[in-house]
Amino acid sequence: MKIQTNHKNLEARDLSIRYLLLRFPPRVVLFTKRTRAMSSEDTEKTTTSKKSAFDAETASLLVKELRGAFGSGKTRSYQWRVSQLNALMKLVVDREQEIVDALRNDLAKPPLETVAYEIAMLKNSCKVALKELKHWMIPEKVKTSIATFPSSAEIVSEPLGVVLVISAWNYPFLLSLDPVIGAIAAGNAVVLKPSEISPATSSLLAKLLGDYLDISCIRVVEGGVDETSALLQQKWDKIFYTGNGRVARVVMAAAAKHLTPVLLELGGKSPVVVDSNINLKVATRRLIAGKWGCNNGQACISPDYVITTKDCAPKLVDALKTELEKFYGKNPLESKDLSRIVNSNHFNRLTKLLDDDKVSGKIVYGGEKDESLLKISPTVLLDVPRDSLIMSEEIFGPLLPILTVDKVEESFDVINSGPKPLAAYIFTSNKKLKEQFVTNISAGGVVVNDTSLHLAVHSLPFGGVGESGVGAYHGKFSFDAFSHKKAVLYRSFFGDAAIRYPPYTNTKMRLLKALIGGGILGIIRALFGWS
């Protein structure tokens, strides 16, 4: 859940990368990193160890081994896929508290958000895959044409092979394992690269996947820029990346060298249009839940800015103030229900957005900061200039600018003047306005009268469009994302038509044209030589 900016899953940031301990159980299980206080002697040893621990050569050996496991046919069986999905479900159930603790460590994420938006959603993905997998794997029968008569045809879903999943830090558990569910369901061997920006979750994932899943086919590689670069030098059968647009370009360029297909889950400035004459209290609460109740704005589908009319804006601001105080108290920096900013780099980036001369005087609520705690309170800004810094990039944090227009329909032009977002939201009771919004706004997904909830509907594809992403997943779409749809045509030795073979005559030409045209009367005319 990621575009243009340096926020989500910034693999190329100058972040300290703690040293890696490469463990070699039988068949090389996991590549993990260890975080602890080290002496200068340890550090020197670690530097040497790291260079030999996971480089391009090691990555190549890893891929080679996984290709051998995939080539054995092991992952193709229904039984193997189900066993791994059940193991993932067991992992989530058994280790729920450890998962909650890791996310609390990485992001100060409230346990309810972890349980609701990461654990419960992952369980649901597993349940859907387990329930539907047999049906997904059945070849799809399709019609054939008269040109191939007699024949039958079907579409066979086959696994792509060995795939790489590079996940993000903001929902480090869900965004790591949800794509892995699709890859396993489709019958692939998988390498997962968690984000080093959420080290506690990354370490836990490496441990748990090694304990619960089939390590001959599913691996975890921890680390930062160097490890990711080593992985991207390899030939994969698909790369799934969740993050920002800048790194996505690096991933896509690396994939292009091997003609590897990619699925990119990015982001953008997801707009919210607020119409007048609505239940403003309900709309405001749902807006808050999608903005600050989802990792304090650090989510790819988080509302990025609001557009409303000049008349409605003061009422909206008052409603936001009232509901935000109810939810997070008079001193939100002390609230345990708000995630912290992930690190100092992002804290400084968000501070820079607030300190911009064009918007520093536009704060109508919030704006408090505590750098020692990496906390920024929910902040609302009114009448923000469209050429300000905060409107030039994805915010990915607890800041919410409000733009005003004379007529709500003018919001369409504002939205369409920028890159296509991952999500777009509208609150309105006007049926015509709903239809116009759905028709005229191009986004990865659209929600009417709520925010973010489309993510939880497994029958809907989740993905971006344009700069907000390439491809989609969730439910059956995840299975399809990691499958090749193989066309298969079956024929018998009966009905071998001479028309296909030389010598080519005028009669054969007429009959061939009629067959291509598909009309019975045309075929009869051709057979009798009629024009």
Active-site positions? 265, 300
Distances from the Cα of 250 to the Cα of 62, 220, 246, angstroms: 22, 21, 7
CA distance 105 to 108: 6
Tokens for 475? Answer: 């439910």
Tokens for 136? Answer: 């997904």
Give the burial string for 351-371 (b: 16+ CB within 10 Å, else e): eebbebeebeebbbbbeebee
Strand partners, 424: 446
CA distance 190 to 163: 5
How distant is the alpha carbon of residue 372 from its chain centre? Answer: 31
3-state SS class at 225: helix
- Site of tokens 């929902």: 171
3-state SS class at 475: coil
CA distance 469 to 266: 5
- Site of tokens 């982001």: 267
- Site of tokens 């068949």: 27
CA distance 220 to 332: 37
DSSP per-residue codes, 43-109: HHHHHHHHHHHSSHHHHHHHHHHHHHHHHTTGGGSHHHHHHHHHHHHHHHHHTHHHHHHHHHHHH--
Length in residues, the chain: 531
Angle at 340 between CA 336 and CA 343, to 5 degrees: 155
Q: Which of 182, 206, 197, 172 is nearest to 100 (CA)?
A: 172
3-state SS class at 502: coil
Q: Is the peptide bond before 261 cis (omega within 30 degrees of 0)?
A: no
The helix or strand, by DSSP H or E, that contains position 155, with its residue range, turns out to be strand 151-159
CA distance 273 to 196: 35
What DSSP state is assigned to residue 209?
H
Tokens for 216? Answer: 């001959």
